[in-house]
Amino acid sequence: MSIEVSQRRAVFALLKPYCHFAKDDDYIEVTEWTNGEGVDIEISRSSSYGKIISLTHGEWELIQVLVNYRGE
């Protein structure tokens, strides 16, 4: 058995400045996967259970394309 210890990059921000529905302590944190192939996105809201979404970089890229799609 081998055990690997890693330090993963994470970024964090309070949600309130970006969403008028957010409470003071609501936040989003994005943490890179150890293998570098994707991210975990944690959305924590005081009014409900937190959510964690795991995405590869390709999945994230397609989501950005779809969100910004304006038609042909």
Q: Domain limits at 15?
A: 10-67
The verdict on residue 21 lying in a domain is yes
pLDDT of residue 47: 76
The verdict on residue 1 lying in a domain is no
Please tell me whether residue 66 adopts helix, strand or coil conformation. Answer: helix
The verdict on residue 52 lying in a domain is yes
Reading the block at residue 54, the tokens are 């795991």
Residues 6+ apart with CB under 8 A from 3: none
Number of domains within the chain: 1
Please tell me whether residue 43 adopts helix, strand or coil conformation. Answer: strand
- Rg over alpha carbons for the chain, rounded to the nearest Å, is 15
pLDDT of residue 38: 97
**Grouped pLDDT means (10 residues each) for the chain, 72 residues:** 94 97 95 96 87 96 96 82
Torsion 59-65-67-72 (CA) sign: negative
The verdict on residue 24 lying in a domain is yes
The verdict on residue 4 lying in a domain is no
Question: Rounded CA gap, 27 and 29, in Å?
Answer: 7
> Is the full-model pTM beyond 0.85?
no
